[in-house]
């Protein structure tokens, strides 16, 4: 007989289920894992001001975006409506949204409207409203752009959609509204009720120490269908054993982020404005890409006229300064940035823009050093690019 005060010895003989405890297992380790998973779900829901059952864990932002978009399309066809659905997005979305829309269009499963943003890199909500039709079932607009950092008017777009649905006679559940908030999570308010969204995507890769995991917020009243087969985890929408270790990292990182967001945003905004002012004052023939005010506090995207952005990235890297010329998700594609091209179509496609993104360890001395290095690089290159 085991005494009540004696610690129970644990022997793990469930290796066929998982190397670590599987939250779906019925033994004590599985139950403990499930409790940890539920607590993490509660923490993430609290961050978004949502309900725990509205939180679906995925492998990352790309999967979350695909589950939102294709999940809505799949559910639509399951409901057996007798018309082709129409979906709307902008022309500067992340590739995981833009390419998914293009694939669905190519397969002739949907009609698509790609709404152009303004020169500021911000979409006009009235242009979104103008594209809504009787067969529109989904609108997807990113909260903040991953290249130029512009912040989209999500609340205003949601308002236009609500107004349209209020006076629509049929199919009042549509259109649904999705936002890719992957770039926004560190800096902007993600209260889903205030934003007015039905679906929202997040990724741990953009949060320090958050782990490789993603989240899809799905409003309780919204119905979507799974895009993969193989299991009933995550409310039957995301099959496969949950990556508990990474999920716990993600929920813990969100708690830390919540405590420090306002203070860090203020610090980064001052550094960003200082950097932009120094760049515009120090160099001629440059363009700030994206709106000066409605942009993320850590983002500066500059086009140096006549000098290819890829060349500047390489030259800066040689001096120990790491920047980028376009989204890492599209860096293997030939040509310049489609985002820069969308707002500056008169530019040479190969010129593009250089993205300087600030972070926790960035300080004023780093910015001053970068300006000095840029002076030397541009002096070196000017004989080739006059």
Q: Which positions are catalytic? A: 329
Structure tokens at 186: 């560190």
CB 96 within 8 A of CB 120: no
How do beta strands 214-218 and 55-58 pair?
Answer: antiparallel
Q: The sheet that has 176-180: what strands, in order across it?
A: 55-58, 214-218, 199-203, 176-180, 136-140, 86-90, 111-115
Of 295, 363, 359, 335, whose CA–CA distance to 147 is shortest? 295
Helix axes 61-78, 95-106, angle to 10 degrees: 30
Q: How far apart are CA 325 and CA 289, in angstroms?
A: 12
Please state, as a whole number, how many other Cβ atoms lie within 10 Å of the Cβ of residue 359. Answer: 12
Structure tokens at 373: 């290095």
Structure tokens at 219: 């409003």
Q: How far apart are CA 228 and CA 239, in angstroms?
A: 7
């Amino acid at each position: 007989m085991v005494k009540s005060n004696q610690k129970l010895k644990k022997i793990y003989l469930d290796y066929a289920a998982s190397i670590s405890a599987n939250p779906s297992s019925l033994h004590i380790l599985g139950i403990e894992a499930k409790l940890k998973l539920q607590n993490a779900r509660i923490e993430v829901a609290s961050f978004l001001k949502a309900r725990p059952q509205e939180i679906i864990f995925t492998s990352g932002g790309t999967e979350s975006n695909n589950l939102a978009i294709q999940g809505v399309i799949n559910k639509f066809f399951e409901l057996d409506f007798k018309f082709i659905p129409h979906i709307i997005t902008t022309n500067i979305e992340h590739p995981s949204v833009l390419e998914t829309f293009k694939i669905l269009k190519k397969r002739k499963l949907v009609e698509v409207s790609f709404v152009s943003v303004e020169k500021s890199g911000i979409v006009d909500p009235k242009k979104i409203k103008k594209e809504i039709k009787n067969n529109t079932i989904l609108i997807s607009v990113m909260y903040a752009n991953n290249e130029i950092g512009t912040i989209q008017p999500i609340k205003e777009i949601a308002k236009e959609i609500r107004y349209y649905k209020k006076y629509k006679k049929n199919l009042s559940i549509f259109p649904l509204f999705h936002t890719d908030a992957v770039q926004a999570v560190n800096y902007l308010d993600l209260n889903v009720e205030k934003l007015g969204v039905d679906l929202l995507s997040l990724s741990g890769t953009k949060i320090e120490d958050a782990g490789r995991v993603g989240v899809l917020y799905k409003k309780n009243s919204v119905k979507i269908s799974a895009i993969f087969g193989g299991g009933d985890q995550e409310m039957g929408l995301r099959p496969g054993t949950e990556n508990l270790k990474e999920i716990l990292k993600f929920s813990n990182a969100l708690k830390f982020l919540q405590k420090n967001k306002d203070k860090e945003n203020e610090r980064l905004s001052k550094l960003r404005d200082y950097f932009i002012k120094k760049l515009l004052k120090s160099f001629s023939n440059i363009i700030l890409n994206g709106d000066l005010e409605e942009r993320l506090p850590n983002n500066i995207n500059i086009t140096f006229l006549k000098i290819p952005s890829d060349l500047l990235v390489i030259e800066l890297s040689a001096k120990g300064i790491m920047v980028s010329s376009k989204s890492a998700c599209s860096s293997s594609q030939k040509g310049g940035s489609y985002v820069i091209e969308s707002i500056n179509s008169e530019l040479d496609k190969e010129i593009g823009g250089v993205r300087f993104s600030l972070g926790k360890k960035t300080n004023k001395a780093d910015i001053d050093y970068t300006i000095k290095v840029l002076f030397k690089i541009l002096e070196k290159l000017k004989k080739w690019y006059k």
